[in-house]
Amino acid sequence: QVQLVESGGGLVQAGGSLRVSCVTSGIAFSQHAMAWFRQTPGKDREFVAGVSRSGISTSYTDSAKGRFTISKDNTKNTMYLQMNNLEPEDTAVYFCAATFAALPELILTTQRYYDRWGQGTQVTVSS
C-alpha cells in the first residue's frame, strides 16, 4: 500500500521557521521525483519546490527561492521542506507528491504529472 504522510506543519509567527516532512512507504523512493505543492481555499494547488530522484537537483517557485530548502533522504524514504523567514502569504495546506522518474535529475513542476499524493499538513503564519 502506497502512503505519503506529511507532518511538521503548525502555527508560526512571521519571520519564523518550520520544517515539514513527508514519509513514504510502498514506493521505490529512490526512483521517484518528489515535490511540495500548497493550496489555499478557493485556489488551485501551486508548485512550491521539487527535487529529482537523486536528490541532487532542485527547483523552487520564485517566492520560495532563498527561503525554502527541499531535500530528499533516500535512506529514510523521506522528503523535507525547510521553510525560513516565513510570511503570512505562505499560509496554506502543504502537500507532498511523488512520481516515477526515468531520468535521475528530472524535476516536474506541474501537478498533473504526479500520481502519488499525501493528505496535506496545515502551515499557518501569523503577522
Residues 6+ apart with CB under 8 A from 59: 49, 50, 51, 107, 109
Say which DSSP state 14 is in. Answer: T
Q: What confidence score (pLDDT) does residue 18 get? A: 98
pLDDT tens for 8-44 read: 999 999 999 999 999 999 999 999 999 999 999 999 9
Q: What confidence score (pLDDT) does residue 109 get? A: 96
Q: What confidence score (pLDDT) does residue 96 get? A: 98
Q: What confidence score (pLDDT) does residue 15 get? A: 98
Residues 6+ apart with CB under 8 A from 65: none
pLDDT tens for 108-121 read: 999 999 999 999 99
The whole-chain average pLDDT of the chain stands at 97
